[in-house]
């Protein structure tokens, strides 16, 4: 067979080469047909006598693909003497004239050509380019994986959502539910399906729930909150959203989301309760400020407080020391009682009672700690006897300390139930007690102040003379912060009459958020002569707060002053300007973080630059201290771009009509590489057009430029691939029956793409009538089958010139969430030529088989006779025939053999026809 390989090779239409095996498993190319050279972009002289590895070197970027797999197949053929097929393997082809490789996929057959002894002498290597099909399948696989991930994410959202997600029919029965609703109802998921959701709602909300459900069945989206009771009796508050689901214009189901907001509602109750506490506290403070600290004012306030905490009795006991023994005596001063409690204010046993008589309260109250008790937990004694006599179920006592001594205590009794006082209630009542303590301290302080007023009048007059015309605010305070003197300019600066502040504590005018800090710094004067108090807010006559800065000097030992002198200055304007600058810088920083750009503000007159970026190491790898340097831009711009950019800036600065600048240049990263950046800026000029400032942003566009270039190369490669292939790409919008086709449609079939916009009204009319029904049925089955994603069919089509073409049509079906086909994308391959070649090859194979049979059987008979007769002549052995008769038979056998050979030659000519 090896003697005829050239004749056979010349007639093979598929791309192929003939390889000759050598030692050391090297295969050298003897010949390559035109189809092979055209497909691989080579010439026969480039391949002749070269080894397979020399002709097509492996792609260094893809060492796992290519030549080594081809060698494996060739060696397998050498060992088995049988054909070996590589269905799909990657072998990248070099792009001649460059060091680049083109990604290619092949279907190849390696066919052994044996000699008469059956040994493999040559290998016929045929190839078929399946790059487009392979890449399409890979892309299709990626799409399938992405779809699978999306489906899994959707399932996870439904399954793991803690909220109840469900579907109801129009009667309110549950068609589907997630685990969240089953958990809310305390029912297994499999049992809740088919149940009615309405019975789970509290009776007082069922009618409302029914109304909202009917509203949803009529096509409206609605939401509500209702009390919900699970199968185990757990009470919850649900926020429910109901959404109608339409099918063909009618509501067929109602979908719902139920969220447990019980915790939120409990939090709201706590907030309301705390708000009520704050209101009472504010009213209490207001009462203490507006009224004298007398029994009547306290009684009215106690009524409000007791009702707020639901106490039946609230009272105040004063604590005084016995002047003779020093023993603490307690006496009830003020009391408020509800209808359930008996009045104890006139009880003589509660007047001047030694505190140690009630042992249970002595220790905590004298240590400034609260005391609480319930009747059932008390042991026998004086306290339990008081509980029984006054019908008390629970009690809370809060001490009042003035000047580090027990001044008295406030008590609360509950005569209805034993209660455990909540932390927020105790905290609230302690704050009220603290305010009462302040009021007592204030009263004591005022008494002391009154005693000193006459002594201070003379000093005030002296100080007024010195400071009333000054800009600084001067005040005199004691160590507790009470004013005894203020300069007259308090009126002009803050609108406050000095007389309004004298005797009052500074805490009443200092912002609550600043008071603790100011107080802490102020108290340092006990151990030092002078302190500078950091800026704080002070309320003026309009109720607005002004920023002041104060220096306080301790002159308590100066008999002329006998206080702490506070020199204050209004710095509101300075603080607001600093805050505005801070806000501007913060906005710049946020903008830089949001845009991932470097934002800068260049003062052109001072040549100072302020830069803002995301973090200390996120701008091209440089730390913050490098980025903020004055020459950061000049030191890191590419040297070749520096002079160009300076010229651009100078040119734009000189043109008063130009206020914007945009430029691109290279900028060095911390690792030494260069980034491509775009710089956009706005120029601020004065009235004469002179540039004052340049505000702009620098953006890294390296990735954008790289992606643009990659996209450009990819588009070019795709266009070249479309020119090389005999295919037409199409995109069918099934809903509108509109089709978009590539230019290959006109090149291959002769039809204008502008006329071929429909499948049914145009394309199917061009299908061969014998195949039209087959195509329509196949398409309809594929579209109707929700599980089918690919469609493939071979049929005949009539070209514009009237000729018939065989096409292989493949498509990928895109479906919506319900599985309905919405779009198909595919390609049509003209396989007419390949079908003709296949028929021709089949015919040739039939003739070759006949020739082979004649060579092995018909030729052998006359050839055997000739060899036998020649043997008789050589040995001169003529028993029954003469020499002439032997020669006659040889001549007849030779004629017979000549006829057979002529017949074989005739059949061979049929193959070439």
Give yes or no for a contact between 242 and 214, defined as CB atoms under 8 angstroms apart.
no
Name the residue with higher pLDDT: 66 or 325: 325
Cα–Cα distances (Å) from 859 to 755, 862, 908, in that order, read 63, 6, 16
Mean pLDDT of 147-153: 71
Q: Burial letters for 481-511: b for 16+ Cβ neighbours within 10 Å, e otherwise?
A: bbbbbbbbbbbebbebebeebbebbbbebbe
> Tens digits of per-residue pLDDT, 531-584?
998 899 998 888 889 898 899 999 888 887 889 898 888 888 888 777 776 666
Nearest one of 773, 913, 907 to 847, comparing CA atoms? 907
Q: At what angle do helices 382-389 and 359-366 cross, to 10 degrees?
A: 100
> Tens digits of per-residue pLDDT, 624-659?
778 777 788 888 889 998 888 888 888 888 888 888
Cα–Cα distances (Å) from 652 to 407, 639, 695, in that order, read 79, 21, 14
pLDDT at residue 54 greater than cutoff 50: yes
Name the residue with higher pLDDT: 701 or 855: 701
> Tens digits of per-residue pLDDT, 254-285?
999 998 888 777 766 655 666 666 566 666 66
Nearest one of 215, 239, 216, 94 to 167, comparing CA atoms? 216
Say how far apart CA 524 and CA 877 lie, in whole Å. Answer: 149
* pLDDT grade for 357, boundaries at 50, 70 and 90: confident
Say how far apart CA 360 and CA 528 lie, in whole Å. Answer: 43
What confidence score (pLDDT) does residue 84 get? 92
* pLDDT grade for 228, boundaries at 50, 70 and 90: very high
Give yes or no for a contact between 395 and 372, defined as CB atoms under 8 angstroms apart.
yes
Say how far apart CA 298 and CA 345 lie, in whole Å. Answer: 14
pLDDT at residue 470 greater than cutoff 60: no
Using a 10 angstrom Cβ sphere, with 0-12 exposed, 13-18 middle and 19 or more buried, the burial of residue 127 is buried
Residues 6+ apart with CB under 8 A from 611: 598, 599, 600, 601, 627, 628, 632
Highest mean pLDDT among 87-91, 151-155, 157-161: 87-91
pLDDT at residue 20 greater than cutoff 70: yes
Strand, coil or helix: 189: helix
Say how far apart CA 756 and CA 736 lie, in whole Å. Answer: 14
Strand, coil or helix: 555: strand
Highest mean pLDDT among 160-164, 312-316, 870-874: 312-316
What confidence score (pLDDT) does residue 617 get? 47
What confidence score (pLDDT) does residue 213 get? 92
> Tens digits of per-residue pLDDT, 814-837?
999 888 999 888 888 888 877 777
What confidence score (pLDDT) does residue 589 get? 60
Name the residue with higher pLDDT: 888 or 549: 549
Strand, coil or helix: 197: coil
> Tens digits of per-residue pLDDT, 750-766?
777 555 466 666 778 88
Average of per-residue pLDDT values in the chain: 81
* pLDDT grade for 616, boundaries at 50, 70 and 90: very low
Query: How many other C-beta atoms can be found within 10 angstroms of the C-beta atom of residue 637?
Result: 21
Give yes or no for a contact between 222 and 215, defined as CB atoms under 8 angstroms apart.
yes
Name the pTM for this structure.
0.30
Say how far apart CA 441 and CA 292 lie, in whole Å. Answer: 13
């Amino acid at each position: 067979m090896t003697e005829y390989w050239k004749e056979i090779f010349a007639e093979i239409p598929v791309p192929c080469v003939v390889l000759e095996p050598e030692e050391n498993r090297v295969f050298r190319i003897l010949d390559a047909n035109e189809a092979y050279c055209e497909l691989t972009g080579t010439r026969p002289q480039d391949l002749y006598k070269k080894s397979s590895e020399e002709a097509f070197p492996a792609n260094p970027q893809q060492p796992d693909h290519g030549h080594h797999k081809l060698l494996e197949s060739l060696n397998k053929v050498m060992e088995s003497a049988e054909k070996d097929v590589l269905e799909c393997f990657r072998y990248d082809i070099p792009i001649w004239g460059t060091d680049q490789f083109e990604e290619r996929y092949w279907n190849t057959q390696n066919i052994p050509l044996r000699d008469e002894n059956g040994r493999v002498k040559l290998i016929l290597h045929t190839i078929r380019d399946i790059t487009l099909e392979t890449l399409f399948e890979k892309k299709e696989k990626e799409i399938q994986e992405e779809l699978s991930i999306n489906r899994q994410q959707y399932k996870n959202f439904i399954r793991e959502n803690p909220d109840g997600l469900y579907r109801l029919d129009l009667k309110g029965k549950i068609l589907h539910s997630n685990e969240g609703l089953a958990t809310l109802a305390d029912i297994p998921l499999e049992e809740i399906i088919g149940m009615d959701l309405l019975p789970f709602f509290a009776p007082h909300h069922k009618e409302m729930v029914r109304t909202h459900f009917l509203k949803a069945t009529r096509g409206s989206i609605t939401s509500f909150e209702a009390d919900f009771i699970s199968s185990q009796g757990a009470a919850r508050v649900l926020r429910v959203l109901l959404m109608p689901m339409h099918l063909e214009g009618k509501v067929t189901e109602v979908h719902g989301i139920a969220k447990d907001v019980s915790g939120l509602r409990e939090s709201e109750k706590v907030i309301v309760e705390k708000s009520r506490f704050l209101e009472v506290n504010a009213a209490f403070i207001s009462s203490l400020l507006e009224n004298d600290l007398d029994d009547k004012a306290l009684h009215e306030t106690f009524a409000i407080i007791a009702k707020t905490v639901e106490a039946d009795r609230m009272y105040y006991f004063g604590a005084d020391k016995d002047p003779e023994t020093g023993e603490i005596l307690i006496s009830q001063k003020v009391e408020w009682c509800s209808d359930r409690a008996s009045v104890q204010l006139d009880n003589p046993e509660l007047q001047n009672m030694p505190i140690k008589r009630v042992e249970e309260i002595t220790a905590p109250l004298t240590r400034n700690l609260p005391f609480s008790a319930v009747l059932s937990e008390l042991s026998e004694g004086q306290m339990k006897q008081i509980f029984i006599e006054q019908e008390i179920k629970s009690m809370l006592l809060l001490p009042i300390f003035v000047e580090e001594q027990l001044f008295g205590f406030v008590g609360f009794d509950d005569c209805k139930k034993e209660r455990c006082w909540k932390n927020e209630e105790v905290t609230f009542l302690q704050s009220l007690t603290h305010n009462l303590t302040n009021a007592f301290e204030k009263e004591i302080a005022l008494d002391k102040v009154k005693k000193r007023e006459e002594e201070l009048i003379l000093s005030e007059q002296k100080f007024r003379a010195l400071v009333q015309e000054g800009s600084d605010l001067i005040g005199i305070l004691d160590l507790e912060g009470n004013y005894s003197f203020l300069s007259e300019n308090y009126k002009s600066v803050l609108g406050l009459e000095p007389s309004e502040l004298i005797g009052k504590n500074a805490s009443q005018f200092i912002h609550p958020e600043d008071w603790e800090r100011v107080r802490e710094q102020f108290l340092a004067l006990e151990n030092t002569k002078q302190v500078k108090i950091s800026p704080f807010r002070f309320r003026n006559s309009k109720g607005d707060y002004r920023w002041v800065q104060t220096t306080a000097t301790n002159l308590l030992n100066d008999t002329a002053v006998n206080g702490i002198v506070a020199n204050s200055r209004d710095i509101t304007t300075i603080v607001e300007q600093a805050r505005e600058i801070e806000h501007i810088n913060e906005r710049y920083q946020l903008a830089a973080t949001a845009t991932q750009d470097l934002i800068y503000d260049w003062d052109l007159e001072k040549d100072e630059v302020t830069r803002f970026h995301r973090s200390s190491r996120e701008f091209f790898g440089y730390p913050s201290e490098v980025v903020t340097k004055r020459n950061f831009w000049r030191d890191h711009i590419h040297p070749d771009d520096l002079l160009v950019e300076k010229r651009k800036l100078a040119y734009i600065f000189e043109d008063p009509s130009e206020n914007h600048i945009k430029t691109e240049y290279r900028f060095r990263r911390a690792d030494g590489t260069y980034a491509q950046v775009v710089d956009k800026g706005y120029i601020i000029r004065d009235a004469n057009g002179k540039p004052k400032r340049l505000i702009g942003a620098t953006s890294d566009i390296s990735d954008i430029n790289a992606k643009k270039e990659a996209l450009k190369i990819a588009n070019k490669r795709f266009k070249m691939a479309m020119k090389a292939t005999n295919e037409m790409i199409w995109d069918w919008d099934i809903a509108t029956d509109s089709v978009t086709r590539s230019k290959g449609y006109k090149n291959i079939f002769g039809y204008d793409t502008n006329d071929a916009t429909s499948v049914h009204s145009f394309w199917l009319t061009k299908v061969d009538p014998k195949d039209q029904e087959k195509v329509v049925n196949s398409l309809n089955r594929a579209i109707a089958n929700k599980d089918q994603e690919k469609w493939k069919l071979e049929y005949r089509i009539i070209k514009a010139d009237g000729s018939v073409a065989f096409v292989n049509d493949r498509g990928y079906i895109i479906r919506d969430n319900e599985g309905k086909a919405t779009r198909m994308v595919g390609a049509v391959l003209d396989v007419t030529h390949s079908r003709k070649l296949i028929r021709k090859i089949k015919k040739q194979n039939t003739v070759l088989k006949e020739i082979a049979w004649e060579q092995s059987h018909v030729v052998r008979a006359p050839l055997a006779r000739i060899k036998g007769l020649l043997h008789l002549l050589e040995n001169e052995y003529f028993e029954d025939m003469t020499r002439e008769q032997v020669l006659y038979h040889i001549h007849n056998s030779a004629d017979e053999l000549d006829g057979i050979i002529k017949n074989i030659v005739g059949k061979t000519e049929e193959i070439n026809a």
